[in-house]
Every structure is written in structure tokens, then in C-alpha cells.
Amino acid sequence: MIKSLFIHLAVKEFIHIRRDPRSLLILLLMPLFMMFVFGYAINMDLKHIRLGVCDLNRTPVSRDLIQTLVASPYFDVIQRFDDPRLTEGLFRQRLVRAAVIIPADFARRLAGSQGATIGVITDGTDANSATLTQNYLESLFLSRSLSGDGMGLPIHIKTRIFYNPDMESAHFVVPGIVALLLIMIGALLTSVTIAREKETGTMEQILVSPIRPYEVILGKALPYLVLAFAIAVFIIVFGHLWFAVPMLGSWTWLMLFCLLYLFTALTIGLLISTLVSTQQVAMMLSLVATLLPSVMLSGFIFPIASMPRPLQVVSQIIPATHFLKIIRGIMLKGNGPLELWPSIAALTAVGLFFITLAIWRFQLKLK
């Protein structure tokens, strides 16, 4: 009897979804479009850095050095100038991101035993790019000074890269986008649905029926779990086929963990819905609570290991953190539950934590 009540609620929710084909279309097409554009757009390697070069030395040696910069794929030497005081203006006009200043005594000092200095100035407005630019330039000069004059480096460095030997950004980014889109869709859908029932007053009608609170929650969540899962399969397959992201692990495991991840996304949505009373606030809260943390704290782009300690702790309660390890592990490395169990356990714990909180808040409200 009670079981059938819960199914009725789920069926009612399904009908709601089906009755609104425009929402359904938006929900399927938008993630696809986003995956397509972001898969191409998101690329962290910095190439073609606009560079200004001020050569005060003007010798074959300095011209030779500039030639190295011109030949590097990382830099576009777009400005040559003779007066170092012009650097400021170039930065202000945003013509260059970095400037190299070759001092007048460069060639002479290079021939001496002390070695020559070279000026590197970067525009710190974009701190990330500035750091990368500075590193590129310093390494370039360092390796040139050691391998010049046909000597070759006295050691030979051999590099082997596993799992993504061509260093394709898309292989890393596509699973990240899956994680980002799923958590947002999952949380948004659920929180808004329940808030809508509250807003229109139908929640009270459901609550006075003999159905139990957890059944209300399950009945509301299940249809969206199915919908979000369909979206998940859709975009993962698309990423796999279009961007040729490898799938070294098992599809079955990936799908299973996708469900687990969606479940935690839904629990966040449920929790939000118990905190608010209108759709507007539910939407605002879901957006604000999922977008930036999932992008910035999950390891989507920035490695968690580099964050300050307290934030590493915070990142652990963000479901995307764990799902990212799982989906990247399965797709790119061929990991299975044997290697991934810490992330799986953590993701489950996060989901249970949120659902407990949601049910507790829900019952609090009832009283």
C-alpha cells in the first residue's frame, strides 16, 4: 500500500516533467552544447604569450637569443623596442603580457666567467598567467645557457607520460565538465521542484496524506535521478565519441558511480529545499552553492594538493571532488573499485551526510 503511494508520487512527478517538453529539451541540449564548446575552449596551457623585447645590446649574440624566443611556440614576440622606459606603456596599453630586457653589456658579460643577467618583467594583473610566463622564460634562458655552443646538456632527460601521453587538455576537461554539469543539474532540479510544491501549497496536501516523509523525498527525487542519469549518459558518451576521451575502465562501474554521484547531488538539492520556501531562493542558493565551489574547490582545474590546508578539508565535503577522481580514474587510467575505494567511500559518506541533514530538517519543519 505504502509502496504504491511512493510510486504514485514518482509517476506524478514524471508526468510533470513530460508535460513540459521545453524544459526537457533545454535540459538535454544545453549540457550537450556546453560540453561541445567547453571541451574546445578550456585549455590551460599558455601558448602565444604576447612578448615585448627590448634589445639594448644589439649584437649577434643578443639577436640569436631573441631568435630563440621567436621560434618558441610559447611566445609571440610582437613588440621590439629600444627604450626600457617604454615597457610601462606597453603594459598599460595591454599590448604585451611580459617583456624581456637584454642589457647593453649582455654579450660582453656572457663571454666572461660571471655570466650575464637578463631582465624579465611580467604583468601580474593575471597572477596565474604571470607565474607560468615567468617560469617559461626562466627555464628557457637556463636551458639555453647550458646547451649553448653545441655542447649539449650534460645529462639526458627522458620523459614518459602515462594515461594522456599527448597531454590533451580535453581528456582532463571533459570528465570535469560532466562532474560540474551533473551536480548543478541535480541540485537545481530537486531543490526547485520541492520549493515549487511549497510555493503552490500542494506540499501540505501531500503531507497530510498517509505517506511518510522519506517517501515524499524519495518519490520526488527518483524521477529527477532518472532524468539526470539520462543527461549523464548522454554527455559522457558524447565526450567519449567526439573528443575521443579514452574509456579504459568499465562502463558499468562508471554508470554505477554516476548514479551515486547524482544521488549526492539530489541530496544537496533536497537539503536546500528544506532551507527555503520559494523557488527563487532555492534557485539562487543552488546556483551559488554549486557553481563556484564545484569549479574552484574540486580539483576541476586547480589541484587540491596546492590549496591551503583548511580548504583541502572543505574540498572533501564537495561531491565533485570525489567524483572527479572516480570518473578520471575510470576513463583515463582504467581504475576499478580496488583503487578508487577511498573516493567511493567518501562520496557515499557525503551523500549520507546531506540526506540525513535533509531528513532531519524536513522533520523539524513538520513539527
Partner 1 sequence: MKRVWHLVKKELWQVTRDPNMLRVIFVVPMIQLLVLGYAITTDIKNLDILICDQDDSAVSRNLVERFSHNEYLTVKPLPCRAGQIEQHIFRGDVLLALVIPEHFGRDLENRESPEIQILLDGQNSNTTAVALGYCNRILLEFVRDNLAAAAGRNPRLARSIRFIEPVSRTWYNPELKSVYYMIPGIISILLTIITMLLTGLAIVKEREIGTLDQLLVTPLSSWQIIAGKTIPFAFLGFLEMGFAMTFGVLWFKVPIVGSLPLLAVLAAVFILTTLGLGIFVSTMVDTQQQALFMAWFFLVSFVLLSGFFYPIENMPGWVQVITYINPLRYFIEILRELFLKGAGLSVLWPELLSLLTIGVSIFTLATVRFARRAAA
Give residues 285-344 in contact with partner 1 (rule: CB under 8 A). Answer: 285, 287-289, 291-293, 295-297, 301-303, 305-308, 310-311, 314, 325, 328-329, 332-333, 335, 339
Q: How far is the CB of 287 from partner 1 (least distance, A)?
A: 6
Site for partner 1 in 173-202 (CB under 8 A): 180-181, 184, 188, 192, 196
Stretch near partner 1 under the rule CB under 8 A, chosen from 138-146, 203-211, 232-240, 255-263: 138-146
Q: Cα separation of 111 and 113, whole Å?
A: 7
Q: How far is the CB of 154 from partner 1 (least distance, A)?
A: 6
Site for partner 1 in 16-35 (CB under 8 A): 20, 22-23, 26-27, 30, 33-34
For residue 216 the three cell numbers come to 515524499
Which CB, 131 or 205, lies closer to partner 1? 131
Q: Cα separation of 267 and 221, whole Å?
A: 9
Helix axes 337-366, 213-242, angle to 10 degrees: 140
Give the HSE-up count for residue 356: Cα atoms under 13 Å, Cβ half-sphere.
Answer: 6
45 makes contact with partner 1 (CB under 8 A) = yes
Site for partner 1 in 226-255 (CB under 8 A): none
Q: Cα separation of 182 and 231, whole Å?
A: 8
**Do 344 and 326 touch, CB atoms closer than 8 A?**
yes
Nearest to 60 by CA among 98, 106, 99: 106
Site for partner 1 in 66-125 (CB under 8 A): 88, 91-94, 110-111, 113-125
Please report which helix (H) or strand (E) contains residue 284, including its range.
helix 279-296
Q: Which of 137, 231, 258, 320 binds partner 1 (CB under 8 A)?
A: 137
Please report which helix (H) or strand (E) contains residue 51, including its range.
strand 49-55
Q: Which of 157, 208, 364, 366 binds partner 1 (CB under 8 A)?
A: 157
